[in-house]
Chain A
Amino acid sequence: MDFGSINPVLLIASLMVASTPILLAAIGELVVERSGVLNLGVEGMMIVGAVTGFIATVETGSPALGFLGAALGATLLALVFGVLTQIFLSNQVATGLGLTLFGLGISALMGQQYAQLRTPSSPRWEFFGLNEVPVLGPIVFNQHPVVYLSLILVVAVWWFLRTTRPGMILRAVGENHEAAHALGYSVIGTRFAAIAFGGACAGLGGAFLSLVIVPQWTDGMTAGRGWIALAIVVFASWRAWRVLLGAYLFGGISVLQLNLQAAGFAIPVELLSMSPYLITILVLVIISSGRGRASGQAPASLGRTFHASG
């Protein structure tokens, strides 16, 4: 039992790594939900991204192409969700669940021959030796490129939703799809774009897990991260910078519990392993009980089916 074995600088650096898959998936889902679509298939898209990214990396030898493959694979799955919910007008909750169940199955099927393989590692950036700077170095200047990409995406999504015209249309579609339709905006087109973006982000998150964090392919390796990403969007009250906060908070807890396990604290391993899920539930409760504020901030058309009948 000794706290001294836990290095705070390394803790923060590894927290950022551990948070990245969830951050990527959550920022994608944020855009989807702001357009009024509830896609519960994040877990399925992440796992498909994890497997397609892994396969693409093994086959091409390039992690960059691997991440591209992951984004494409997961987007493809997301488009199935798009076709079902937007064209066939299916129930979004049921379709999202179906996406997760199908994704878990198809990924296990695709990954069978790749289970024991390893991929070429993708190097971290070092910024001309700045990574040697004490404290700041390992945290700011020595991360994997996709970690920086995830942070750029958060800023980009914030800027897109807040200041750009397409971002405003997307929010309008999410708040009141009938009004947006009456103004001549394409509700279904906007939502398809958002769903595809959400899929690509979830795929990148999954690939970061199978290519950088683990780095290996095992069945069901996302282990509920897609669901936690969904919870973080609620936690964030549908705001981009709060998604960052939520994801890093969660990443911090999971890294800390792993460190506590390694340090051999007299807490049952299972209790530590379940703590991220328990704390996510706790945070959801606190957020949702706050005088109904969070639910008031949900996009008004969230989860409602749109059919231009008239």
Chain B
Amino acid sequence: MQRGPILIRLEKRAAPSRVWAWATPLVAVLMTMVAGGMLFAFLGTDPVAAIRTIFWDPLFGEFAFFYRGQLLIKAGPLILIAVGLALGFKAGIWNIGAEGQYIIGAICGAAVALAFYPLEARWLIFPLMVIAGALGGFLWAMIPGVLRTRFNTNEILVSLLLVYVAEQILAWMALGPLRNPEGAGFPGSRNLRQYESAANNELIAGTGMHWGVVAAFIAVIFAYVLLSRHLTGFHIRVAGESPRAARFAGVNPTRLILFCLGVSGALAGLAGLFEVAGPSGQISIDFNVGYGFTAIIVAFLGRLHPIGILLAGLLMALTYIGGEAAQATLGLPAAAIQAFQGMLLFFLLAFDVSTNFRVRFGARAPA
């Protein structure tokens, strides 16, 4: 049943191509560089200089010693959040409100620290903050989780809408309960970096290595083992690939939904806590910079695989740092990087077709 001359056809592969599964992200990055270069040229910036400033200079340029430390600071939260999100995405459970869980985790962790201020007892306060941060993110993610399992409410919409609620809570906290009483009326909490017992400073000076980055590495290992060795990991993969088969494999959908949302929420909360106690330092109206959304791109760029996410997180951190550098030296607008990251996701999704389909040119081959 041939309808006209079909020049390009897609033929479903019997099994996903392993080569393409790894090649897709690389091709997508290259295509984004080309398309991004065209965008930058359109904006009146030299495209070659822009791409070099974003991808090369932070690693190997004159000021690389400064930027390399920034790399882990930015990659830490992205990896931490993306690893959690990927578990859900693999199972077809869409938590897209990580930004909200990140904010609530930060607020809870900071609130614990501020409650103890000015007591100095790091052995007690810092661990409590970590627990509070994870718990805050976990509980915030449980709202869409419970609504989904109890009332069958769409978790995509609820988790996203809760981001806006979290932002309002953040504004209230920064202006009200958590505001620095000695801050001369300015919004924002005390600076936690100056509070010895709560500060999440660099563990090795100049590397950007703080507890959040350590947590991100642990999360990668945890997720890797979970997905490759553990029964829950098997359930996640089955639920995503074939929901019907999952039922026969004894998957309990309610437990799986709560598990995936809970873990991703807790990890996002942790990321928020480590950020607010470290690089950002205080609860302010806009301390969150959209890591929760960028992590979605990171998860896909890393092919929902923990190791892939580690690499994707570093690459995405590079675009942040390089973007800032390009802003300073080339006058490239800040929003250009956001558009650039969005473009990366498009190319990734477009080339993903080669993983599951074979592209054939010419007429249909005999079956």
A interface residues (Cβ-Cβ under 8 A, vs B): 40, 80, 83-84, 88-91, 93-95, 97-98, 101-109, 112, 219, 223-224, 227-228, 230-231, 234, 268, 270-271, 273-274, 277-278, 280-281, 284-285, 288-289, 292, 295, 307, 309-310
Interface of A is mostly: helix
Number of interface residues of B (CB under 8 A): 52
What are 22 A-B interface contacts by the 8 Å CB criterion?
A84-B349, A84-B350, A89-B10, A94-B300, A101-B294, A101-B296, A101-B297, A101-B338, A102-B346, A106-B339, A106-B342, A224-B161, A270-B168, A270-B169, A278-B165, A280-B157, A281-B153, A281-B162, A284-B147, A288-B153, A289-B152, A307-B10
Distance in Å: Cβ of B42 to nearest Cβ of chain A: 10
Contact A277 B335, CB 8 Å, known A89-B353, A95-B349: no
Q: Which of A88, A277, A278 contacts B350 (CB 8 A)?
A: A88
Return chain A residues, CB-CB under 8 Å to B294: 101
Q: Which of B11, B89, B152, B160 contacts A227 (CB 8 A)?
A: B160
Return chain B residues, CB-CB under 8 Å to A98: 297, 342, 345-346, 349
B336 is an interface residue with CB less than 8 A from chain A: yes
CB-nearest residue of chain B to A89: B353
Distance in Å: Cβ of B270 to nearest Cβ of chain A: 23
CB-nearest residue of chain B to A223: B164
Most buried by A among B43, B296, B346, B356: B346
A91 and B353 alpha carbons, distance in the complex (Å): 10
- Are the CB atoms of B352 and A90 closer together than 8 Å? yes
B interface residues (Cβ-Cβ under 8 A, vs A): 1, 10-12, 43, 89, 94, 96, 147, 150-154, 156-158, 160-165, 168-169, 171-172, 176, 293-294, 296-297, 300, 333-343, 345-346, 349-350, 352-353, 356-357
- Are the CB atoms of A309 and B349 closer together than 8 Å? no
Beyond the given A105-B339, A224-B160, could you list 19 further A-B residue pairs with CB under 8 A, ordered by the A residue number? A90-B352, A93-B156, A94-B89, A94-B300, A94-B345, A97-B296, A102-B339, A102-B346, A105-B336, A105-B338, A109-B336, A228-B161, A231-B157, A270-B171, A277-B161, A284-B158, A288-B151, A289-B150, A289-B151
- Are the CB atoms of A284 and B153 closer together than 8 Å? yes
Contact A80 B346, CB 8 Å, known A93-B94, A285-B147: yes
CB-nearest residue of chain A to B170: A270
A231 and B155 alpha carbons, distance in the complex (Å): 11
Q: Which of A88, A101, A278, A281 contacts B293 (CB 8 A)?
A: A101
Most buried by B among A80, A93, A109, A231: A109
Return chain B residues, CB-CB under 8 Å to A280: 157, 161
Distance in Å: Cβ of B309 to nearest Cβ of chain A: 15
Q: Which of B94, B164, B293, B297 contacts A224 (CB 8 A)?
A: B164
